[in-house]
Homo-oligomer: A and B are copies of this chain.
């Protein structure tokens, strides 16, 4: 818990310099050495730690020390107490959830953002932060071939499109939901009390954060629809089902307000058809948000852009470069066709923030497009990632991950004990042990559950599961920044070995050849 020699003396009240430049250089240099050492070794760490709940309290003091601690001692504690409890999202053997990608350029950009530390709530409080954000969102809109309605550079008296960087998709959904809610209240003319008549729509595959955002925004939980999907339509939200749900609600005197369409669902990367869904929503005057949190990154490649087709009819679209475009957490891009629909309910104008540029109407104040007031300078890392690597490399990065996932998929298909459960579109493979002979779905669920435990308990890889179409399915998401083909091959080897242990090696057809 820190020996005496780790404690430094106290300076006098005015002698304390928390931004001493010598300390800064030394501490950051030590930190980058620590990080390099971590990345060199992360492949050998158990991806999922084996610590027990409460483990950390036994390793660190219960109360803070009055005295300073040497940076060396802090790094030793990091190694001793923190690293063993980390789930290593940066491990090349991490195939769980969706990846959280990063890059040296993002780390450098984030460090600069922390160092400048502008609390860029409005334009004047840091013009460069606001303007770079608007520029980089236009850059990304360009890469995704979004229609010009979403570009701030197209903004004129007639066009009010634009974007904002949020923390995560949850914030993007919440803010657009509030905008849609206010628009629907104006439309139905029932005053604020009519909130209890509004309805929001997702599918049974829509991310849980949509349902949570509806709760936060005050929608009646009984009026938030989870429209059932079917395996026949690959778990996408079917326009006919959506229309039926909206028509029934409208007939019951309710007010359809918001539809969340997902491009690349979390369970299985299902793609809701944005165009047809927008057509249905338009019949009822509802807002359409396109949540492309994961798959949006892939759409920088022309061959994947089709999945955003129809986005020109949507009201808003978001995706998270921290998921798959090498920007580290947190970083979500949101574009809306009319920023005024956000700034209406989310705008504030307290006296202590009043200033000439804001009053002139010639600038955008980004606090009015988000939940909070203060905000990190997230545009910097995003801009540095795109500049440092260039668009061609970003596309290569996506394609490389997809190719590795294709390779994994091929291996799954070659082993008759396994099946690919839903079509692979991006870099996620949903697979499982097949039901065998007369042993049906219940057996398969149980065996796949057990197989997942055995794989993860090994510590050698980390994968997660989902349930689609009633089936317990293993998810293999390629995309951790350090992953190479050999890691994917190694993971498959481990999976088949565990399947051998579970099912008996005699059931492995490969071994019987």
Compute how far the CA of A196 lies from the CA of B45 in the bound complex, rounded to whole angstroms: 53
The answer to whether B115 touches A35, judged by C-beta atoms less than 8 angstroms apart, is yes
Chain B contacts for A118, CB-based, 8 A: 86-87, 89, 100
Q: Which of A67-104 contact B (CB under 8 A)?
A: 67-69, 71, 74, 77-78, 81-87, 89-90, 96-97, 100-104
Q: Which residue of B lies closest to A198 (CB)?
A: B218
Total identical chains:
2
Compute how far the CA of A387 lies from the CA of B61 in the bound complex, rounded to whole angstroms: 11
The answer to whether A69 touches B35, judged by C-beta atoms less than 8 angstroms apart, is no
Compute how far the CA of A354 lies from the CA of B39 in the bound complex, rounded to whole angstroms: 28
User: Which of A7-15, A238-246, A256-264, A435-443 interfaces with chain B?
Assistant: A7-15
Q: Which residue of B lies closest to A102 (CB)?
A: B117
- Cβ of A108 under 8 Å from chain B: yes
Q: Which of A32-52 contact B (CB under 8 A)?
A: 32-36, 38-40, 48-49, 51
Q: Which of A316-351 contact B (CB under 8 A)?
A: 322, 326, 328-330, 345-346, 348-351
Compute how far the CA of A143 lies from the CA of B64 in the bound complex, rounded to whole angstroms: 8
Shortest CB–CB separation between residue A402 and chain B, in angstroms?
10
Shortest CB–CB separation between residue A40 and chain B, in angstroms?
7
- Cβ of A509 under 8 Å from chain B: no
The answer to whether A87 touches B127, judged by C-beta atoms less than 8 angstroms apart, is yes
Q: Which residue of B lies closest to A399 (CB)?
A: B13
The answer to whether A39 touches B13, judged by C-beta atoms less than 8 angstroms apart, is no
A207-237 vs B, Cβ < 8 Å mask (1 yes, 0 no): 1110111011111111000000000000000
Q: Would A74 and B384 be within 8 Å (CB), given that A27-B104, A393-B16 are in contact?
A: yes
Shortest CB–CB separation between residue A481 and chain B, in angstroms?
5
Q: Would A481 and B19 be within 8 Å (CB), given that A114-B329, A127-B51, A329-B374 are in contact?
A: yes
Compute how far the CA of A8 lies from the CA of B105 in the bound complex, rounded to whole angstroms: 15
Q: Which of A399-428 contact B (CB under 8 A)?
A: 399-400, 403
Compute how far the CA of A221 lies from the CA of B191 in the bound complex, rounded to whole angstroms: 10
The answer to whether A467 touches B351, judged by C-beta atoms less than 8 angstroms apart, is yes
* Contact residue among B18, B53, B222 (Cβ-Cβ distance under 8 Å from A192): B222
User: Which of A156-164, A165-173, A275-283, A304-312 interfaces with chain B?
Assistant: A165-173
Q: Would A178 and B215 be within 8 Å (CB), given that A24-B36, A36-B21 are in contact?
A: yes
- Cβ of A357 under 8 Å from chain B: yes
Shortest CB–CB separation between residue A422 and chain B, in angstroms?
13
Compute how far the CA of A135 lies from the CA of B138 in the bound complex, rounded to whole angstroms: 41
Chain B contacts for A387, CB-based, 8 A: 64-65, 68-69, 74, 77
Which 9 pairs show the lowest CB-CB distances between chains A and B? A218-B218, A85-B128, A18-B103, A170-B372, A56-B131, A192-B220, A208-B348, A193-B196, A24-B104
16 A–B contacts, CB within 8 A, in A order: A16-B396, A18-B393, A21-B40, A24-B39, A27-B107, A49-B128, A51-B127, A53-B360, A55-B131, A56-B132, A57-B131, A82-B128, A100-B119, A110-B111, A117-B329, A170-B372
